[in-house]
Structure 1
């Protein structure tokens, strides 16, 4: 299967600028919904087609996509920059990665809730929301050392989110042909988990849901991660790159950007 990696950039002209607050708003929750609609319009040649692309937003109206078909020219974008995505990978190759992901895992619904075959019924949960569910405050954390210093509570929440993201990504690697680079032996100056860094964790209200800090408002969590990895099974790794990681892929999550380390 041929895949296409594309860069899309919003036009800088009066007609696009007049719509910018609608198609590329600064506020995160509104941007998630607006970008979701905008990218679907690029690939919506068939109203009944299922999503066959991943995407990621960047500042200044720029987007990256990985798709099974090249994006069509669109009136709001400059001509798309498109290239075939077919990296030649071998076991042992080292890559730097950047990813925005909604990480989920399966947990038992209830110790007494079993299927007819006796197995526990399970449900998918956001790994950070599940770990943070008993702590007060919102599920938001910024990277330590960012412009806004964190309170002790925020620091504790960030560390929990970081631990859960790291565990989730290790499990993703075990199942999909890669491993995170370990801490170099004897390198006391290196950061812990040198192959992984969590830059941010935040939650976004599902588009169409009620706005505001209301109990029970449907939300999904987003990890902003980067690091280094080693390919162990090139075929499995490439297959996962094509389908994406985690959930909320319609809303800009799941696309792993890679480059040679």
Structure 2
């Protein structure tokens, strides 16, 4: 499996700068939607190809992308900085990581679809953790819940992806609403975003790399799920 890690930077060409408010808006929900569309311009060679890349915004028009194809030249970006992603990893290796994720848990609803399949719902892990609190108390409890629920979610990911969590900290938790919704505000699509960092210890490197290429959590099209790693300092 070939993987490429690329850094893409928005071009400063006047023709691109003229579109900056459209392709790199300040409002977070609109930015994630615009960036999701923008990055396709670097992988648009085959219109029938599925999205086979993960991305992460670093701000100021800079993006990291993990992909199975090399990004193509795009008029919206400077020349891509691309390198093969094939780290030599072994069981027991410790890695520092950062991860921006839409962390959810799946539950059964007791309903069935038209085809007879059981309907399932994906709940944000933080909102699930504080769901029984009075509405007035939820805001104050949110970050503490994010730390506990975020680590528990990451440990569950590790069980399925060949790593153990040594340290996990939540730098931020927010709820992002997607733009262009029509109808009642209550029905507006939105999702929770956890910014996690810490240290993991590898147990099955091959499995980890395979799962890393798939991404962690949901809402991957909108810049979530790409785990950035580097070797940790000795304990």
TM-score (norm 2): 0.90
- Identify the residue that residue 177 of structure 2 maps to in structure 1: 205
Shift, 1:240, TM fit: 0.7
Structure 1 residue matching 2:186: 3-state secondary structure: coil
Q: Which of 195, 202, 217 is equivalent to 1:231?
A: 202
Q: Which aligned pairs between 1:128-207 and structure 2 lie closer than 5 A? A: 128-135=126-133, 136=135, 154-181=139-166, 195-207=167-179
The alpha-carbon distance between structure 1 residues 248 and 120, as it changes in their structure 2 partners (threshold 3 A), is closer
The alpha-carbon distance between structure 1 residues 77 and 132, as it changes in their structure 2 partners (threshold 3 A), is same
User: Is the 1:54–1:254 contact (alpha carbons within 8 Å) kept by the matching residues of 2?
Assistant: yes
Structure 2 residue matching 1:109: 3-state secondary structure: strand
State the Cα deviation string for residues 8-41 of structure 1 (Å, max 9, x = none): 0011232222111111111101101110110122
Count of aligned residue pairs for this structure pair: 228
- Identify the residue that residue 193 of structure 2 maps to in structure 1: 222
List, as ranges, runs of 4+ consecutive aligned residues in structure 1 with deviation greater than 6 Å.
none
User: Is the 1:32–1:207 contact (alpha carbons within 8 Å) kept by the matching residues of 2?
Assistant: no
Shift, 1:114, TM fit: 7.9
Moved more, 250-259 or 7-16: 7-16
Structure 1 residue matching 2:191: 3-state secondary structure: strand
Residue 22 (str. 1) matches residue 7 (str. 2): no
Shift, 1:153, TM fit: 5.2
The alpha-carbon distance between structure 1 residues 114 and 249, as it changes in their structure 2 partners (threshold 3 A), is closer
Structure 1 residue matching 2:79: 3-state secondary structure: coil
Aligned partners of 2:151, 2:104: CA distance in 1, in Å? Answer: 12
Unaligned runs of 5+ in 2: none
Structure 2 residue matching 1:174: 3-state secondary structure: helix
Alpha-carbon RMSD across the aligned residues, in angstroms, is 2.1
Structure 2 residue matching 1:33: 3-state secondary structure: helix
Aligned partners of 1:100, 1:209: CA distance in 2, in Å? Answer: 24
User: Is the 1:166–1:196 contact (alpha carbons within 8 Å) kept by the matching residues of 2?
Assistant: yes
Residue 259 (str. 1) matches residue 230 (str. 2): yes
User: Is the 1:204–1:219 contact (alpha carbons within 8 Å) kept by the matching residues of 2?
Assistant: yes
Aligned partners of 1:13, 1:120: CA distance in 2, in Å? Answer: 51
